Structure 1
Amino acid sequence: MSQQELASLMTDAAANFPLRKDQKKPRAWGRTDVNKVENGHRPYDEDFLVAAATVFGCNVWDLISRAPGDQSLDALWSSWTDAERAEAADFIEYQRNRARRG
């Protein structure tokens, strides 16, 4: 998933979140916002984490409980049901095949 796709999906997800008292409209993100957070040039905030967790279908804790770049899925997978693990494995295999095809 590209940073632009992630930003768009996060913005769509945030449109369904209740507005806080200090908000006039739902939060929106762009590719540069995602890039800056991913590269550590901007700290993430609660809105960013909740929207990203919604897009990835996980809990906020799943996003912050491991170091960035940690390739181990054991901690994440241990909290999933067998059906969720199978779906994730299928998705990973799909992405690997897609990457091989270019």
Structure 2
Amino acid sequence: MKDFEMCPRFEKAVDMLSKRWVALIVFVLMKGPRRFGEIEGCLSNLSGKVLSDRLKEMEYEGIIERKVYPEIPVRIEYSLTRKGEALAPILKEISGWSSEWIELEAVN
């Protein structure tokens, strides 16, 4: 007999945020709108393909907004929506927790 059932909304939220790079992209965008190359530059080891895929997924989920400026060359910026901004306190808590509890290995 099952005495615990996971809330489907909680499960979807954790699944979405646990996809590689999603939380880090949100963290980068917490400082304000960024262009693709700026986001890519903030996150080492992230390929352009994966970043593109994650941005599309996050836009579909309503976490980020993609704004195209009709300039030459075209300028595209990504920013958090209200839904994405609502993640800021959660990520700040994780940041504080990691500062206190996560040890990094010494780099030689």
**Structure 2-normalised TM-score?**
0.29
Which structure is higher in helix share?
Answer: 1
**Structure 1-normalised TM-score?**
0.30
Which structure is higher in strand share?
Answer: 2
